[in-house]
Structure 1
Amino acid sequence: MIDETSLLQMMTTIATQAGERLLAVYSPDARPANMQEMLDAARRNERVSSDGTRDALRKLLPDARFVDGENETAALPDDGDWWVIDDAEGSVNHVHGLPDWGVSIALVRGGRPVLAVFRQPVPDLTYTATLGGGAFVNGRPLAVSAKQGLEIAIVGTGQAEAKQAATYSAIGASMTALLGAAFLVKATVPSTFPMLLVAAGHMDAFWQYEPVLPGVAVGSLMVTEAGGVVTTISGDPWAPGDDTILVGAPGVHPAVRDALALLRKTSA
């Protein structure tokens, strides 16, 4: 059995190698002109980054399974290990010449993330977290913000998957509700980036409706280990498979939860 420290180091190496492959096909001058160009570039990114990644992870833990397809939105069994990966997270940003893209790898054990790595080649950032061992970026400890309340808080949400009209309505209503209470409200993709900003204290809260596990597994552990709070939007403990997630600094999370709870009561 590989100890968690060694396992995290090996995960970091694998994510770094995948990130280098993506960096080799990245250009800050990329400007796709149509949908076909975007799709072609996104498929290239998946192919380039995933080359060898799963095989390398299988060698680390031969009995571990991979979260794919329906498992991305389903509760996971409490037994066994699960790899949760996104070979090219933020690919839409990559193909448009933006820097918010990278490679995420999380290990879920006992129904919750226990190890996490996110490699962002531009600008050379490596985020790591271990359950009970803290969260770090390039070896420096992460810590959520010390803000109290919403009036000076920077908060945000993420876009849902395609063809989810009801979810789009919930996102729009939630942003409207928070625009009247928070200092600043953002909407961005992919979800990992605002969650990393919460863990680093640059943002104060983030919520999402209908998240997929590869988009929130790494970020949820980063926030928890940086001293933040991770729940569902209703305030219950979050677990893989839940249909909402809310992460935030302890002094801001309750106010966002209450604002979103009031929104649910109004729309009921």
Structure 2
Amino acid sequence: MTTISTLSDANVNAVQDATLVPGIQAALAAAGAVLVQRFETKPEFLTRDDVVEGIYANDRASLDAMRPALTALRPEAGWAEDELESGALPDGEWWITDPVEGNINHIHGMADWGVTATLVRDNVPAVTVVHLPLTGDFYTAVRGGGAFLNGQRITPSVKTSLDAALVGSGQASPRETSDTFAKIARSTEAMLDAGLVLRLSVPATLQLIQVAAGRTDLFWQHSAVRSGLVSGALLVSEAGGVVSDLEGGPWTLDSTGFLATTHQLHAEAVSILAPHA
């Protein structure tokens, strides 16, 4: 049973976490400015090694710009170093960032990329900011405090059936197994039949902000990468949507599947995706 003291603690945390938002925005703006300077629309890669080095160089440049400011905001918080890791973290506060969310797009001259930072407390996202440097947009959410785009509250879609829905999915990381690829293929076929239009793209966060803002209706993913999901999970839930695993249960950092949609579409989506989880 939820107690009055628990509710009071949650409210206090929400108020305190909201004070972190301007500092997080400033840190991500600094990183975004570096990435805009590095953005080229005509890449010239020859090999996989060239691509990988381009990704790492971007990450280093962005982290150098954002990490000192985020550390100063929460000096005792840990830092989740590997952006491709999944699973739970030790208790306490942790920064989970993606210094270039959609890095593969950035280095190939495409505009679908951003910068994210989420403070996680005891494995629950507490406050997040997603910055899109090419447009200047900031998506922000605080647990218990709502979700916003540039200070204006956002809410999810009001559609009531998947046959009218714009749905999306994508590959979580280059490290997927053949079993995960098979699940992706099966669930994609099922959603092609159930939804109106299907988008397959990366990164996950840039699809999840669209669910939170009501522009698209559903996003699902097999397997999990913490940095690709925590920001969007908090934004969708605080906007008024539903976040769960693919079988409809609570989503945690340990979950092997992810679903974000609206209350109206959740049950129908689970009925389609659960057999392929």
What range is the shorter-chain TM-score in?
Answer: over 0.9
Which of residues 182, 195, 202 in structure 1 aligns to 2:195? 182
1:197 partner amino acid: Q
Which of residues 82, 88, 94 in structure 1 aligns to 2:100? 88
Distance 2:218 2:88 in 1: 24
* Aligned-residue offset at 1:43: 2.0
1:177-226 Cα offsets, whole Å, 9 max, x none, are: 11111101121111101111100111101111111110000000000011
User: Does the residue aligned with 2:167 lie in a helix, a strand or coil?
Assistant: strand
CA RMSD, 1 decimal: 1.9
Distance 1:76 1:32 in 2: 36
Partner of 2:234: 221
User: TM-score under structure 1 normalisation?
Assistant: 0.92
Partner of 1:194: 207
Partner of 1:146: 158
Alignment partner of 1:173 is 2:186? yes
Moved more, 219-228 or 34-43: 34-43
Alignment partner of 1:8 is 2:41? no
Contact 1:143 1:199 in 2 (8 A): yes
Which of residues 97, 100, 105 in structure 1 aligns to 2:117? 105
Distance 2:195 2:83 in 1: 35
Contact 1:116 1:218 in 2 (8 A): yes
Partner of 1:236: 249
Any residues of structure 2 matched to 1:203-222 within 5 Å, and which? 203-222=216-235
1:61 partner amino acid: R
Partner of 1:118: 130
Distance 2:18 2:239 in 1: 18
User: TM-score under structure 2 normalisation?
Assistant: 0.89
Instruction: Give the length in aligned residue pairs.
Output: 263
* Aligned-residue offset at 1:243: 1.0
1:144-166 Cα offsets, whole Å, 9 max, x none, are: 00000111011111113224111
* Aligned-residue offset at 1:39: 2.4
Partner of 2:10: none
- How many percent identity over aligned positions? 36
Contact 1:31 1:95 in 2 (8 A): no
Moved more, 68-77 or 213-222: 68-77
Distance 1:179 1:217 in 2: 26
Partner of 2:167: 155
* Aligned-residue offset at 1:58: 1.8
Distance 1:244 1:33 in 2: 34
Say which structure is richer in helix.
2
* Aligned-residue offset at 1:71: 9.3
Contact 2:210 2:216 in 1 (8 A): yes
Stretches of structure 2 lacking an aligned partner (at least 5 in a row): 1-12
Stretches of structure 1 lacking an aligned partner (at least 5 in a row): none
* Aligned-residue offset at 1:141: 1.3
Distance 2:94 2:274 in 1: 32
